[in-house]
Structure 1
Amino acid sequence: MATTSAAPLPELPDLTGRNALVTGASDGVGREIARALAAAGAHVILPVRNRDKGRRAIDDIRRTAPDASLQLRDLDLARLDSVTALARELNDERTPIHLYLANAGVVMLGDSERHVTADGFELHFQTNFLGHFALTVGLLPLLQASRARTVMQTSLGAAVCRIHWHDLQLERRYGALRAYGRSKLALALVGTELARRSAADGWGITVAQAHPGIAPGSAIASDLRRRLPQGFVHAAATNFGNPLTQAAQPALQALTVDATDATDATDAADAAHGHFFAPSGLLQMVGAARRRHPFRRVVNADDATRMWTVAEELLRTGAPRGTSGLASSP
């Protein structure tokens, strides 16, 4: 349930001449982020799993940003061959990427079954985390060449979940919300490690993190929405949490706030690597976006390095068979 908001588009810097790649931009918060970037002059690449849905998103964006420069690409994060194909295409074309947002996500609330992708990974784990990791690594040459601003869109779930290293894919104790939260924490951790590697090795990639708070108007948790009375769903989307345009604000700030906007030298260094943007209200659930302290688990350096290493090994070896994930010593 994602509709065009009547709220005005946010004021962003002039992004003319910039290319932005936003995953999950065919609906919900991602669509509003793409809309705002395009209205500010950016050429926005929308990698989508469903081309028809992507075309409808483009039509919707152009109703409020008629001059928007938008391009569909094919991407199914639940298929690593699709991720590899997109990265290869963009590299072969030498497409500059100045702004990159890993935003797409799935949460199977209302479905108690543990789903596994064609690659053998738990669905949340691959779609929300491993697919994005593979795409990010595949795009590194382009991100480095453009000195890109890269943002990982995490979730409030990352604040309350823990990584269970011996059961990464929840084979022992599955729950959709738990799987979602862990996958978003894993994504945030590799964002932290990407920032460290970029700073240490001079990659020139600026990394930030964001989350939208509570956004009932998004299209997430579609199974649960279908089971609830539509009047209730509409009321929740209208009266509770952040409207989509406001939920888009943390990621938009993370993508466009420059390090020179920081208030002092310490903040400036932080802005280059590791700024965290979230709603300003109670428990970061609602409210206008602002810079906030990142979740403690997100900035655990040891976990960040370990998660990157685990992800690399999983991409190299494939999904473990008959185990509870990749068991490695602490």
Structure 2
Amino acid sequence: MPATPSADLPDLAGRTALVTGASDGVGLEVARALAAAGAHVIMPVRNRDKGSHAIARIRGSVPDARLELRDLDLARLDSVSALVATLSAERTPIHLLLANAGVVLLGDRRRHLTADGFELHFQTNFLGHFALIVGLLPVLQPARARIVLQTSLAAAFSRIEWSDLQLERRYGAFRAYGRSKLALALFGTELARRSAAGGGVVTVAQSHPGVVPATAIAPDIRRRVPPQLVRLATAHLGNPLPLAPLPALQALTADAAQGDFFAPCGLLQMAGAPRARHPFRHARDREDAARLWRVAEELLQKSARDGAPLH
């Protein structure tokens, strides 16, 4: 059996990376690889105990890893604003940023709202990251940062429905997840366009890890499936954890052009080593990307004005 490809990263000493969703799964492995290459890694987490456990796991293989936890709950806009304010006040240059955190509630038929009143997938996977990255642009631009949006294969099968953006009328967990990840990809498309128009101060790329059964995806389905089937899927389907972080790592560190997209090389992009690929067709729609940016700004402004949940 051929050896599993591994991350071959440049020396990242003196660089600071911020990785959302780094307390487990793909995000943890990205943080581990960046730290092993010498980067100082900021890990914004919702659960401090889980984050501390992740740091211990990373230091088990990278004893001198430079890691720090910060508080971030993407499902709470006040938490996003607090992190933006703290990092902005500290003026610590951020050279690499991976928007990796996400939620997918496959198997749960109920539509969940955040404390801010937005559909949970929409806010966690897209709107919270939008607020975080746009808020941090004054920190990212002087560092000439590389920003990577970690989207999903589900985005390839999704379209934005403007009349039902948050699935109030026709909810389904996979539909909500796919649209939220497509929204994140469209955000990346518009951010890359704006950056290029402004002289390319930051570079924006996108990636997705393929299908990764080894992560804690779809907890409701996992609880209903016999454990032996979960183990079988984890062992034989999709991308294993050693491969799954590689597209994001390539997007973060390769000599990429504005708007480049990295994904697994295998059939239907489900698994395999990373390679540069064409972005998903609907994620390349510049009109949708510009419109979504405007809608996101309006939603955030309305939420700030109201100071109360939106329904």
* Fold shared, TM-score > 0.5 on shorter chain: yes
Correspondent of 1:158 among 150, 155, 174: 155
Mapped pair 1:304 → 2:289: yes
In structure 1, distance between residues paired with 2:224 and 2:51? 25
The percent of aligned pairs where both chains have the same amino acid is 71
Mapped contact 2:247–2:274 kept (Cα < 8 A): yes
- Aligned partners of 1:230, 1:41: CA distance in 2, in Å? 38
Q: Post-superposition shift, 1:8? A: 8.0
Q: How far apart, in 2, do the equivalents of 1:80 and 1:158 lie? A: 24
Matches within 5 A, 1:40-189: 40-189=37-186
1:31 aligned onto 2:16 = no
Instruction: Give the aligned CA root-mean-square deviation in angstroms.
Output: 1.5
**What is the letter of the counterpart of residue 280 of structure 1?**
C
1:109-163 CA-to-partner distances (Å, cap 9, x unmatched) read: 1110000000000000000000000001110001101000000000011111010
Q: CA deviation at 1:223?
A: 2.1
Q: Which of 296, 300, 309 is residue 315 of structure 1 equivalent to?
A: 300
Aligned partner of 2:239 in structure 1 is 242
Q: What's 2:271 paired with?
A: 286
| Alignment partners' CA distance in 2, 1:94 and 1:237 | 41
Offset at residue 203 of structure 1 (A): 5.2
- TM-score normalised to structure 1 length: 0.90
Report the number of matched residues. Answer: 305
Q: Secondary structure at the match of 1:10?
A: coil
Q: Deviations over 1:89-118 (max 9, x none)?
A: 000000110000000010001110000000
Structure 1: which 5+ runs fail to align? 1-5, 260-270, 323-330
**Shift in CA distance, 128/298, structure 1 to aligned 2, threshold 3 Å:** same
Q: List structure 1 runs of 4+ shifted beyond 3 angstroms.
A: 6-9, 319-322
CA distance in 2, matches of 1:9, 1:41: 16
Q: In 2, are the aligned partners of 1:144 and 1:203 still within 8 Å (CA)?
A: no
